[in-house]
Amino acid sequence: QLQLQESGPGLVKPSETLSLTCTFSGGSISSYTYYWGWIRQPPGKGLEWIGNIYYSGTTYYNPSLKSRVTISVDTSKNQFSLKLSSVTAADTAVYYCARRVGGDWYFDFWGQGTLVTVSS
């Protein structure tokens, strides 16, 4: 059974780096077919695409976040990760990881999301 599970600290201090990991189970993250992505939803707001990564390490980022975002993949652990630096309260959100169909631009499978609050 397919599962995407986000994990990481639920509380991050302003100016620090937010770090999350997404573990994929029920399949291989090294599949040629899929990309892997991060999406977030601030409280009371809509979804915002953060970026995508292929198993080879190729990345695509939202231009508005690109200077602060790093997405990486660890195929040995079937995981991919998100780092967002210099966070502020505006980065408080539910963060989702998801699977994107390669050659297309939609997410066919999502994790349940994890809330990250930026506060001192």
Partner 1 sequence: QSALTQPASVSGSPGQSITISCTGTSSDVGSYNLVSWYQHHPGKAPKLMIYEVSKRPSGVSNRFSGSKSGNTASLTISGLQAEDEAHYYCCSYAGSSTLVFGGGTKVTVL
Residue ranges that bind partner 1, judged by CB under 8 A: 4, 39, 45-49, 52, 60, 62-64, 96, 98, 101, 104-113
User: Which has the closest alpha carbon to 74: 62, 56, 98, 100?
Assistant: 56
Least distance CB 15 / partner 1 (angstroms) = 26
> How far apart are alpha carbons 85 and 88 in whole angstroms?
9
Whichever of 68 and 109 has its CB closer to partner 1, that residue is 109
Contacts of 39 (CB under 8 A, 6+ apart): 47, 48, 49, 50, 95, 96, 97, 98, 107, 110
Least Å from the CB of residue 26 to partner 1: 14
Question: 44 or 76, CB closer to partner 1?
Answer: 44
> Using alpha carbons only, how large is the chain's radius of gyration in Å?
13
Nearer to partner 1, 81 or 111 (CB): 111
Nearer to partner 1, 18 or 39 (CB): 39
CB of 101 vs partner 1, minimal distance in Å:
8
Taking every pair of C-alpha atoms in the chain, what is the biggest distance, in angstroms? 42
Work out how close the CB of 59 gets to partner 1 at its nearest, in angstroms, rounded to a whole number.
9
Contact by Cβ (8 Å): 85, 68: yes
